[in-house]
Every structure is written in C-alpha cells, then in structure tokens.
C-alpha cells in the first residue's frame, strides 16, 4: 500500500539514503489552510504568506481555487527558487526579503504566517508588518509551532532554543528558534489594532507523528481526515478543563488570528 520505495542498502558502508516520501495530499497544515480559505467562499481574495519557504502546500490549494491570488515573502534564496518553480503558472509570486522589512505594494484580504513566528528574531516589527499589509476588515492569521521548544528533536535544537531565548544577540536571524508565549502574540496584535483576537491550538503531538505517515499512504486521505477529526474532537473536549500552559503541551501548534479594524 505504501507508495514510497524501500531504501536500497549500499555496499559502501554509508547509511542507506532516506526513502523519498511522496507529498501528502492532506495533513494538518493543508487541512488548516483549506478550512481557512473556505471561510472566504469563492470571491476573489489576495493572500500574503510571510516566510513562505518553498510554498510547498500552496500549489494544490491554488489550483483548486483559481479566484485566489498569492504573494509569498521569503528571505532564503534557495527556498525562494523552489517556491518559484512549484508556483509556476499559478496566480502567485514570491518576493525576496524579511517579513518585517517587506514592501508588498498592495494590501491583502488575508495575511498568514505558517511555522514562522517561532523563528522570527524581531517579533514586534514582523507582527506590525503583518497588520500593516492587511486591508481594513481583512484577516491576519499566525500559526506557529511550540514543538521546537517543548519537544526538541535534537540536543542542537534544545540548545538553539535556550540560546535564542537567553542570548538572542548571538543567534543570527536565519537560525533563530524560540519559545513564544501565545498570550504575548495576542497582546501585541491587539495593541496593533486587531480586533476579535483569538488563540487556538491543534496538532496533538502523537497524532502529528501518526499523520506524518498516514498522509503519505496511497489513498490515505480518509485516514488523514479521521486523524484530523480526532485531533479536533480531543481538543474541544480538553479545552474547558485544562490551562493554556497544558493546552500548549498537548497541542503545540498555536493559531493566533484577528481582524484589522476597518
Ligand atoms: C519552518 S519554515 C516554514 C516555511 C513555510 N511557511 C511552510 O509552512 O512550509 C520557516 C520559514 O520562515 C522564514 N523566516 C524566518 N524568519 C523570517 C522573517 N523574519 N521574515 C520572513 N520569513 C522568515 C525562513 O526563511 C523559513 O523559510
């Protein structure tokens, strides 16, 4: 049933190359974006994606929604060139630069950042730029990951988070990885003029591990949907009975959103 090949063992003594995993047709981030865009119906909307990386989740989404135009902003040139390839032929462009210094030259109906905020060294100007780029009445959504700090994947990552928090001046902006309190993000966005600021959580840690496998299985969409529904179900049940601190540990993907005052 799996579509990715088993790695071949080489005789050189080198470790086998990791298997090439096919792209997921559905995972937490794709489902999140699909749900978010469905709130805008089928009217033309302009989206700004700050820190778009390779924009890997967008081609399928844009193909199925020709009324959406997309602008990504990304400081890393390698990621940008992959993004340009992936988005070729779609109503999309990718601008070079840091989010806090961008000049997109237009205003957007929806401004997002995805898995970026925890890497942003200069948070206030980045958030200010996200609000400034959004039209009055438009929506700002920052989805970010507390997993790096709560569940570091390596000793290096653990150290990087500690140093980014305690001695940010010695960590270059391109490596910065920190722990970001959701209430701080919500407070800053409120002070910048967003109304209806909401914080929510998703991606139960163990379900994310399961999803990493299931979403790549051939015809695995239904399984992926069941994992997503289970995540939402557990999240709803747990939310009223645990603190924000516990919530972040259980569901380390944080979504902070609000609407720019008209
Ligand atoms: C983990 S990747 C996420 C990429 C993409 N948003 C996604 O969801 O696949 C984080 C990205 O944020 C970018 N980034 C970090 N700090 C940034 C900043 N201040 N402004 C814009 N992008 C930034 C990095 O270059 C990197 O591409």
Q: What is the pTM of this model?
A: 0.90
**Domain membership flag for residue 116:** yes
**Domain membership flag for residue 212:** yes
Under 8 Å between Cβ of 143 and 68:
no
Nearest C-alpha neighbor of 126 from the set 45, 201, 32, 51: 51
Side-by-side strand order, sheet with 253-260: 92-96, 68-74, 45-50, 108-114, 134-145, 253-260, 194-202
Assess whether the C-beta atom of 114 lies below 6 angstroms from ligand 1: yes
Ligand 1 centroid to residue 198 C-alpha, Å: 22
**What are the structure tokens assigned to 132, written together?**
């400034």
By alpha-carbon position, which residue is closest to atom 8 of ligand 1?
114
Under 8 Å between Cβ of 44 and 74:
no
Q: How far apart are CA 229 and CA 94, in angstroms?
A: 33
Report which ligand 1 atom has the smallest distance to the Cα of 50.
Answer: 21
Ligand 1 centroid to residue 6 C-alpha, Å: 31
**Domain membership flag for residue 22:** no
pLDDT digits (tens, 9 = 90+) for 43-58: 999 999 999 999 999 9
Ligand 1 centroid to residue 250 C-alpha, Å: 24
Of all helices (H) and strands (E), which one includes residue 148?
helix 147-150
**What are the structure tokens assigned to 24, written together?**
């997921």
Assess whether the C-beta atom of 120 lies below 6 angstroms from ligand 1: yes
Q: What is the pLDDT of residue 27?
A: 85
Residue 80 is part of which domain span?
28-260
Under 8 Å between Cβ of 122 and 173:
yes
**Domain membership flag for residue 223:** yes
Q: What is the pLDDT of residue 7?
A: 34
**Domain membership flag for residue 101:** yes
CATH of the domain at 190: 3.40.50.150
**Domain membership flag for residue 234:** yes
pLDDT digits (tens, 9 = 90+) for 211-233: 888 878 877 788 888 989 999 99
**Domain membership flag for residue 4:** no
Report which ligand 1 atom has the smallest distance to the Cα of 113.
Answer: 6
Angle at 55 between CA 46 and CA 255, to 5 degrees: 70
Q: How far apart are CA 131 and CA 48, in angstroms?
A: 11
Q: How many domains is the chain built from?
A: 1
Ligand 1 centroid to residue 14 C-alpha, Å: 32
Angle at 84 between CA 79 and CA 88, to 5 degrees: 150
Ligand 1, residues 83, 119, 174, 203: which to mutate, most atoms within 8 A of Cβ?
Answer: 119
Report which ligand 1 atom has the smallest distance to the Cα of 76.
Answer: 25
Residues of the chain where predicted confidence (pLDDT) is lower than 70: 1-22
Q: What is the pLDDT of residue 16?
A: 58
**Domain membership flag for residue 130:** yes
Q: How far apart are CA 125 and CA 79, in angstroms?
A: 23
């Amino acid at each position: 049933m799996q579509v990715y090949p088993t790695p071949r063992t080489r005789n050189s003594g080198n470790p086998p190359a990791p298997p090439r995993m096919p792209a997921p047709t559905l995972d937490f981030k794709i489902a999140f974006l699909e749900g978010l865009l469905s709130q805008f119906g089928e009217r033309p909307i302009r989206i700004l994606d700050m820190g778009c990386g390779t924009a890997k989740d967008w081609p399928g989404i844009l193909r199925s929604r020709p009324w959406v135009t997309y602008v990504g902003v990304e400081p890393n040139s390698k990621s940008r060139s992959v993004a340009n390839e992936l988005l070729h032929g779609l109503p999309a462009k990718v601008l070079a630069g840091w989010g806090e210094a961008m000049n997109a030259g237009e205003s957007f109906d929806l401004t997002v950042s995805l898995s970026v905020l925890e890497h942003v060294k200069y948070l206030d100007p980045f958030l200010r730029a996200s609000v400034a780029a959004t039209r009055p009445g438009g929506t700002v959504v920052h989805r970010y990951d507390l997993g790096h700090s709560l569940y570091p994947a390596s000793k290096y990552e653990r150290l990087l988070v500690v140093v980014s928090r305690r001695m940010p001046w010695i960590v270059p902006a391109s490596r910065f990885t920190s722990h970001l309190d959701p209430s701080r993000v919500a407070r800053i966005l409120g002070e910048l003029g967003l109304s209806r600021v909401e914080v929510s959580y998703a991606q139960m840690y163990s379900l994310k591990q399961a999803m990493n496998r299931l979403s790549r299985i051939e015809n695995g969409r239904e399984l992926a949907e069941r994992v997503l529904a289970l995540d939402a179900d557990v999240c709803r049940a747990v939310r009223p009975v645990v603190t924000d601190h516990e919530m972040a540990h259980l569901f380390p993907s944080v979504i902070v959103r609000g609407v720019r005052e008209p």
